[in-house]
């Protein structure tokens, strides 16, 4: 392809495989190699960068060995072994793509944004509402502190894209935004735009943030764990169900209505209508009001959550008495 048109009659097949998408989206070999070569002084990023654990498992040298084997076996350069390399269908599409015959693709979390929100923020998509699930595990015990959402906000702001303002990482922890379903963007100021057809608004997308957290089970599994038993998958799915439904609406009987309010929030704003009292009540209970905590990171208690549905049941007890050891009997 060049400038959107085929340059020959050759039909390239075999790229419509989900394996390519999965493999590329998980590809961080360039970062892992840099970490290994620099002994961890370079190349750190939020996701999959637990160098110490990989060193303990002896997998850092294995990464370098694999790069060498792939290079010699398939006659690849080092760069070719470190990245996903694809024919560039956008060559010639604009000035930055004039001479780029290949796309060099890596795990998107290397930008500090594990959640792939960027495509949904493009103005042409006119997205009103996003459900964002965060399992990046950037703090001890593989829980979250909102870093990826903060990074996306900073990147969007720098690029002139609309995205809700984000609280500090300390606020994510102190206000339990990294445990409870939380909306962002409910109170953002909207800029009226008068068109020839109707009154519309340049809306900031509303986001429902769901952070991997323990509701009725601990699901802070490491990405290094590549084998799961059916019982583990069952508790992961059930834990996610309890979180997304707010314990099947028993934690907040109006939670289904709150989700409905979020789905129509953009349309209501675009039509210049006022939201219902019920929707406003949802934002008061479940949406960040724009005020950060006054606590510093040093003043916060180390984040060691217990099960939200079974308060006081901590991870060590769960792992030793409820679930562990692996494999289950």
pLDDT tens digit string along 34-75? 777 776 666 665 555 554 454 554 555 666 667 777 777 878
Name the domain count of the chain: 2
63 falls within a domain? yes
Structure tokens of 306?
């217990």
pLDDT band for position 175 (50/70/90)?
very high
In a domain? residue 234 = yes
CA distances, 250 to each of 242, 247, 255 (Å): 10, 5, 9
Look at 119-128, 171-180, 282-291 and tell me which has the smallest mean pLDDT.
119-128
User: Which of 160-164, 220-224, 318-322 has the lowest average pLDDT?
Assistant: 318-322
Of 60, 77, 106, which closes a domain? 106
User: In the 8-state DSSP scheme, what is residue 296?
Assistant: -
Distance CA 246, CA 98 (A): 50
Contact 46, 147 (CB under 8 A): yes
Q: Of 9-13, 20-24, 88-92, 105-109, give the range with the top mean pLDDT.
A: 88-92
Residue 162 half-sphere exposure toward CB, CA atoms < 13 A:
21
Half-sphere exposure of 31 (CA within 13 A, CB side): 20
Task: Label residue 285 by pLDDT band (50, 70, 90).
Answer: very high
Listed residues 82, 106, 130: the one ending a domain? 106
23 and 137 in a common domain: no
Please indicate, yes or no, whether residues 125 and 241 belong to a single structural domain of this protein. Answer: yes
Name the domain boundary from 106, 136, 169. Answer: 106
The answer to whether position 3 is within a domain reads no
Do 158 and 241 belong to one domain? Answer: yes
User: Is 11 part of any domain?
Assistant: no
Does residue 1 lie in a domain region? Answer: no
Residue 221 placed within a domain: yes
Residue 8 lies in a domain: no
- Note whether 63 and 121 are same-domain residues: no
Quickly state the pLDDT bin for 309 (edges 50, 70, 90): very high
Q: 143 forms bridges with which residues in the sheet? A: 139
* pLDDT band, residue 328 (cuts 50/70/90): very low
Nearest in space to 171 (alpha carbons), one of 121, 211, 131, 204: 211
Residue 327 has pLDDT above 60, yes or no: no
Percent of the chain clearing pLDDT 70 (strictly above): 84
Q: Does one domain contain both 116 and 99? A: no
Mean pLDDT of 17-22: 83
Same domain, 231 and 123: yes
Q: Looking at the structure, do residues 126 and 257 belong to the same domain, yes or no? A: yes
The residue among 161, 143, 163 whose CA lies nearest residue 204 is: 163
Domain of residue 227, residue span = 112-323
Q: Is 60 exceeded by the pLDDT of residue 102?
A: yes
Same domain, 121 and 136: yes
Residues 210 and 148 in one domain: yes
Provide mean pLDDT across the span 277-306.
95
Q: Are residues 66 and 151 in the same domain?
A: no
181 and 49 within one domain: no
Q: Is residue 12 part of a domain?
A: no
Residues 61 and 139 in one domain: no
């Amino acid at each position: 392809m060049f400038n959107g048109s085929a340059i020959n009659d050759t039909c390239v097949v075999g790229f419509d495989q989900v394996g390519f998408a999965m493999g590329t989206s998980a590809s961080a070999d360039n970062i892992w190699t840099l970490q290994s070569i620099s002994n961890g002084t370079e190349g750190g990023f939020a996701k999959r960068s637990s160098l110490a654990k990989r060193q303990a498992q002896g997998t850092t040298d294995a990464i370098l060995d694999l790069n060498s084997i792939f290079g010699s076996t398939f006659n690849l350069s080092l760069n070719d072994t470190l990245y996903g390399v694809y024919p560039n269908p956008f060559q010639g599409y604009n000035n930055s793509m004039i001479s780029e015959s290949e796309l060099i693709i890596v795990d998107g979390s290397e930008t500090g944004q594990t959640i792939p929100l960027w495509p949904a923020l493009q103005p042409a998509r006119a997205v009103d509402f996003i459900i964002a699930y965060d399992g990046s595990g950037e703090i001890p015990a593989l829980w979250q502190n909102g870093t990826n959402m903060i990074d996306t906000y900073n990147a969007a702001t720098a690029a002139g894209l609309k995205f809700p303002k984000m609280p500090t990482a300390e606020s994510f922890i102190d206000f339990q935004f990294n445990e409870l379903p939380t909306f962002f963007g409910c109170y953002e100021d909207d800029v009226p735009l008068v068109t020839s057809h109707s009154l519309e608004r340049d809306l900031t997308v509303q986001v429902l943030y769901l952070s991997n957290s323990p509701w009725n089970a601990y699901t802070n599994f490491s990405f290094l764990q590549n084998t799961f038993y059916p019982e583990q998958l069952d508790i992961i799915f059930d834990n996610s169900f309890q979180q997304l439904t707010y314990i099947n609406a028993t934690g907040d009987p109006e939670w289904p209505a709150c989700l409905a309010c979020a789905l129509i929030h953009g349309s209501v704003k675009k039509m210049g209508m006022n939201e219902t009292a019920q929707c406003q009540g949802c934002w008061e209970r479940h949406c960040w009001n724009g005020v950060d905590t006054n606590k510093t990171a040093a003043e916060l208690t180390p984040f060691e959550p217990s099960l939200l549905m079974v308060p006081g049941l901590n991870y060590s007890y769960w792992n030793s008495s409820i679930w562990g050891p692996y494999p289950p009997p």
